[in-house]
Amino acid sequence: MKILITTGIYPPQIGGPAQYALNLGKTLREKGIKILLKTYKLEKLLPTGIRHLVFFVRSFFGLIGTDFCIALDTFSVGWPSVLAAKILGKKIIIRTGGDFLWESYVERTGDLVLLRDFYFDERAAPRPISDKDMARESTSKQKMNIFYKTRMPKFSLKEKIIFKLTRWTLQNASRVVFSTKWQKEMFEKAYGLTPSKNFIIENFYGKKVESPAPNKKNYLAFTRPLKWKNIEVLKRAFGHAKGLVPEIILDDKQVGYEESIEKMKRAYAAILVSLGDISPNMILDAVRCNKPFICTRETGIYDRIKDIGIFVDPKNELEIAEKIVFLSKPDNYEIYKKKIENFNFTHSWEEIAQEFLDVASKI
């Protein structure tokens, strides 16, 4: 068997998809499968559209002679990979990762909208009307009812194009893999996907690693400097908390993966307050290292880790500050450390690789 893996980033670049591509490819090779990997090179220097065209050509020739393709995002490599697969009649699995459209919108506008409110704000939506009443409504009013208080009407031309291309990509992939039920249900509704074609393969949950007791109260917040990561709110909240607990330290310097693990082993705690994080690797690394954590409630792994962590509303600066202070107290810290130490769920790369093969066998 020969499989093409396409990914926008790959080590030494930093990011979840880079590590995912590395470990998935390595594990499949260990199963005796030939792996061809295509990642952005020259494309990183090219404008949107041109970079996709270049990658389409590369993925087209890469697909020749392979059994199927695994694309590790929906737009950067997902769209050109699906297009190439359609032309060649090849099977392709999309693994969604994050939400490129939402991330791009927040970065462009500075509108700090939660991911779950980006497509449909059900809390603000009007009460659904009956089919009979809907039939009498004008098309414009129907659209207002569907997209009430969402950001979709505010999309730029580029974002409208990305939305349509993402919808085409997801609808035309052989299968779509999500890491959480949260994102799966969100995307099925937003992009009109057929549920029977969609699968969940959870993220990597590794075995516990030995970690020494911390010698200072440093909270790790490794994150890219992007608006949806909500780092300014975190800094302000941490400033409030530091006024009450002067010894706490915020470490938000982005480092390579191996260094991040070493720092996590020696850290006091981890903290993440993103506006939406599907399956945050930093929190999963904290769990592996038995480190207490404060995490955004806006995450797809909430159901998996809800009993072992502290969760906050990412828009509530005061709540974030209060939870930082709460975790700085030794008694509270020990309670959550014990909870994490007793959490032993694992999901290995071997299991992940086999689950991809199982999905491919169903196409």
Average pLDDT value for residue range 51-66: 96
3-state class (DSSP) for residue 151: coil
- For residues 142 and 207, the model is more confident at 207
In which band, very low, low, confident or very high, does the pLDDT at 141 lie, cut at 50, 70 and 90? very low
Q: Report the CATH superfamily, name and number, of domain 218-341.
A: Glycogen Phosphorylase B; (3.40.50.2000)
pLDDT for 121 beyond 80:
no
CATH number (3.20.20.150, 3.40.50.1100, 3.20.20.10, 3.40.50.2000) of 2-101+155-204+348-361 reads: 3.40.50.2000
The predicted-structure confidence for 15-49, as pLDDT tens digits, reads as follows 788 999 999 999 999 999 999 999 999 999 999 89
Instruction: Calculate what percentage of the chain has a pLDDT beyond 70.
Output: 92
The residues of the chain that CATH labels 3.40.50.2000 are: 2-101+155-204+348-361, 218-341
183 in Cβ contact with 96 (< 8 Å): yes
Query: Which whole number is the average pLDDT over 195-215?
Result: 95
Give the pLDDT score at 125. 43
Write down the pTM of the prediction: 0.88
Mean pLDDT of all residues in 251-269: 91
**In terms of pLDDT, which residue wins out, 147 or 360?**
360
Residue 71 has pLDDT above 60, yes or no: yes
Q: Is it the case that residue 265 has pLDDT exceeding 90?
A: yes
* Lowest-confidence pick of 74-78, 194-198, 256-260: 256-260
pLDDT tens digits, one per residue of 285-313: 999 999 999 999 999 999 999 999 999 99
Predicted pLDDT at 149: 55
Whole-number average pLDDT of the chain? 91
Confidence at residue 144, expressed as pLDDT on a 0 to 100 scale: 40
Structure tokens at 174: 């052989």
